[in-house]
Amino acid sequence: MMQDDKVIVCEKLTKRFGDFVATNEITFDVHKGEIFGFLGANGAGKTTAMRMLCGLSAPSSGKATIAGYDVYTQTEQIKRNIGYMSQKFSLYENLTVLENIEFFGGIYGLSDERIKSKTEELLQRLGLKSEANKLVGSLPLGWKQKLSFSVAVLHEPKIVFLDEPTGGVDPVTRRQFWDMIYEAAHDGITVFVTTHYMDEAEYCNRISIMVDGKMEVLDTPANLKNSFHARSMDEVFYQLARGAKRGD
């Protein structure tokens, strides 16, 4: 692969909280348009790593560039080029669907016409037309998550970070959600996603598995299954994660 094809370059990235090493020298690259799965048991350090990559948390040591920008010094440029969907639903529940879209579009500097056309397109695709003026808090979880994702990619970022986007969502909605992820990847958006569902891991181009803050493996799902002599990703994950000392 070409050097300039890499949108995330990470070298020995580490985050310590006092004595606790949440993320321990992780090194990896992510290519443009790739769907990169980021797996690990609870407390393995996934969210911490993701927050560093988004410029929400300053690394303790190591190097990383996102879309060519440094995570230490250019966090604001990073933020202009990424979308982020946190584990916790974080759109405004006391604003309507339309108001949320308008607000985040405005914050990212989209023009009024652009917000209007994007909103139209988004409501159409999500089938939320009749719910447009409802408060977001009143929507079912599945719709909330799809809306969240759509808002995260509203400004057409280079990379979108998704932290357990399908947690607690029904299988049908999960399937639809992954269709949206594929669509985004098809449009050239790099998708960086964490999940606990191993069937979802199979949808990724490459996956990494974190154990106790370290990145233990990184490969395509097929190669991982081969090297672990496993029939499913479930087994691969189980073999790696049962050795973990950290947990909930």
Partner 1 sequence: MRTLRFLLRKEFRQIFRDKAIVAMIFFMPMVQLILMPLAADYEVRNINLSVVDHDKSPYSQKLISKIVASGYFRLTGYNASFKEAFGLIESDKADLILEIPHDFERNLIREDHEKLFVAVNAINGTKASLGGSYLGNIIADFNADIRMQLVTPPRFSQFPVIDVVASNWFNPVLNYKVFIVPGILAILVTMVGGFLSALNIVREKEIGTIEQINVTPIRKHIFIIGKLVPFWVLANIVFTIGLLVARFVYGIIPVGSLLTLYAFISVYLLAVLGFGLLVSTFCDTQQQAMFIMFFFMMLFILLGGLFTSIDSMPEWAKLITRVNPVRYMIEVMRMVILKGSSFADILPHVGVVALMAVILNGWAILNYKKTN
Is 90 near partner 1 (CB under 8 A)?
A: yes
By three-state DSSP, how is residue 163 classified? strand
Tell me which H or E stretch contains 57: none
Closest CA to 70 of 142, 8, 148: 8
Q: Which residues 51-70 are close enough to bind partner 1 by CB under 8 A?
A: 54-58
Q: How far is the CB of 217 from partner 1 (least distance, A)?
A: 28
- The DSSP line for 5-40 is GEEEEEEEEEEEETTEEEEEEEEEEEETT-EEEEEE
Greatest C-alpha distance within the chain:
54
Please tell me whether residue 190 binds partner 1 under the rule CB under 8 A: no
Start-end of H helices in the chain: 46-53, 75-81, 97-107, 112-126, 141-152, 171-186, 198-202, 221-227, 233-241
Dig out the tokens for 180 from the structure: 């949206």
User: Nearest distance from residue 9's CB to partner 1, in Å?
Assistant: 19
C-beta closer to partner 1: residue 84 or 197 = 84
Specify whether the CB–CB gap between 154 and 108 falls below 8 A: yes
| Window of 76-84, 126-134, 138-146, 211-219 that interacts with partner 1 by CB under 8 A | 76-84
User: CB under 8 Å to 10, separation ≥6 — which residues?
Assistant: 26, 27, 28, 29, 53, 62, 63, 64
Q: Does 164 bind partner 1 (CB under 8 A)?
A: no
Q: Does 75 bind partner 1 (CB under 8 A)?
A: yes
Interface pick for partner 1 out of 16, 29, 63, 108 (rule CB under 8 A) = 108
Contact status: 84 vs partner 1 (CB under 8 A):
yes
Determine, following the binding rule CB under 8 A, whether residue 88 of this chain makes contact with partner 1. Answer: yes
Note whether 106 binds partner 1 by CB under 8 A. yes
The three-point CA angle 40-44-45 to 5° equals: 110
**Binding residues for partner 1, how many (CB under 8 A)?**
29
Instruction: Report in angstroms how near the CB of residue 197 gets to partner 1 at its nearest.
Output: 22
Q: Which of 11, 107, 117, 138 binds partner 1 (CB under 8 A)?
A: 107
Of the residues 8, 49, 91, 198, which one makes contact with partner 1 according to CB under 8 A: 91
How far, in Å, CA of 168 to CA of 89, rounded? 12
Q: Which stretch binds partner 1 (CB under 8 A): 74-82, 126-134, 176-184, 191-199?
A: 74-82
Q: Site residues (CB under 8 A) for partner 1?
A: 54-58, 75-77, 79-80, 82, 84, 86, 88-95, 99, 102-104, 106-109
